[in-house]
Amino acid sequence: MKGLFITIEGTDGAGKSTQIELLTEYLSKKGRDVLVTREPGGTPIGEKIREIILDTENSEMSDITEAMLYAASRAQHVNEKIKPALLEGKIVICDRFVDSSIAYQSSARGISRELIEDINKYAVCGITPDITLYFDITPEEGIKRKKNMHKLDRIEKEKEDFHKRVYDGYQNLLKLYPERIKRVDASQSISDVHKQVIEYINKIL
């Protein structure tokens, strides 16, 4: 792969979107060809799957259905968008990827990590992030921020202990993949968080 694959992770409300905008601006100014995308979604088919997953009316959705829908959205995304962009040499910035499924569907929902990794093996076709920035903020602070922004979706509406398990899941991933996953202190000001992001990205460029 000629390009660079950057994924952005964190609990809900960690401020990923603002930082992705700032990073994109920074890289574009440097003359880099950047593709910004997100999960679940990123393609017309993926966005339809996203609607099903996040719809608050779908309260009966089983955990395994949820896990497979995230992976289905990802499979389409990798094949239609991410892989071609990387082959063209672009920098791809993806808001959430497989680590989200480990944190949410495995650590928080309780599906085994092996099963989530297995399903996702089929979805990603060998594509793995070159670097993952993990935006670290307490789940309480994150949900407080989200509540101030919009109506909560099906996942955000989960109880406090669900978000705590997602948080613990990410802490575990940080320990498992210290080479790939870099911790960003997301409790700082927007400009200070941006500085941390730039430092990590410049190291890998």
Using the CB atoms, write b or e for 181-194: b if 16+ within 10 Å: bbbbebeeeeeebb
Residues 66-85: x where in contact with ligand TYD by CB under 6 A, - otherwise, as a string = ----x---------------
Q: Which is nearer to ligand TYD, 29 or 62 (CB)?
A: 62
CB 164 within 8 A of CB 12: no
Interactions with ligand TYD, residue window 123-182 (CB under 6 A): 153, 155-156
Q: What is the dihedral of CA 41, 28, 9, 53, to 10 degrees?
A: -10
Decide: is 40 part of the binding site for ligand TYD (CB under 6 A). yes
Q: Which is nearer to ligand TYD, 100 or 196 (CB)?
A: 100
- Tell which one of 77, 96, 163, 194 touches ligand TYD (CB under 6 A): 96
Q: How far is the CB of 188 from ligand TYD (least distance, A)?
A: 18
SS3 98: helix
Q: How many residues does this entry show for the chain?
A: 205
- Residues with Cβ within 8 Å of residue 112, at least 6 apart in sequence: 106
Residues in contact with ligand TYD by CB under 6 A are: 12, 16, 39-40, 54, 70, 95-96, 100-101, 104-105, 153, 155-156
